Amino acid sequence: MDLKLKPFDFAAAVARAGLTPTGHPLASKGVAQAADFSQMLSQSLRSVSQSQNEAEHLQQEVQLDNPTVSLEQTMVAMQKAQIGFQTTLQVRNRLVQAYSEIMNMQI
């Protein structure tokens, strides 16, 4: 297998992170950021769900002895789905913990 690395595009990475080339956050309104967070969270959940569905589909194909699906491909998909689920679970736990701490604050 021939692996080739693509050159790193710093400007594109900074833009995806929502920063200016100097490292400062892009100017935006708080409401827009909240909407972006909810959209990002929804997109992440859809992505995790999709990877789990893909892994399940590949498992079924391996069980049916489909010659076009390899065991290695299936195992990698299963690991990706598991890592995505564990990450989602940890994010949820942190959000619940933060909510609990906020609710327990003295006013």
Q: Is 61 a domain residue? A: yes
The DSSP result for 19-81, as a single string, is B-TTSPBPP--HHHHHHHHHHHHHHHHHHHHHHHHHHHHHHHHHHTT-TTS-HHHHHHHHHHH
Put simply, whether the predicted model's pTM sits higher than 0.85 gets the answer no
Apex CA 20: angle with CA 41 and CA 25, to 5°?
50
Q: Is 10 a domain residue? A: no
Calculate mean pLDDT across residues 51-57.
95
CA distances, 24 to each of 8, 14, 27 (Å):
20, 10, 9
Number of domains forming the structure of the chain: 1
Q: Is 103 a domain residue? A: yes
Q: Is 55 a domain residue? A: yes
The pLDDT confidence band at residue 83, using thresholds 50, 70 and 90, is very high
Q: Is 24 a domain residue? A: no
> Which is higher by pLDDT, 33 or 45?
45
pLDDT the model gives residue 49: 94
Domain hosting residue 65, numbered range: 51-107
Q: Which of 37, 47, 42 has its CA nearest to residue 84? A: 47
Q: What percent of the chain has pLDDT over 90?
A: 50
The pLDDT confidence band at residue 13, using thresholds 50, 70 and 90, is confident
> Which is higher by pLDDT, 51 or 34?
51
> Which is higher by pLDDT, 25 or 43?
43
Q: Is 17 a domain residue? A: no
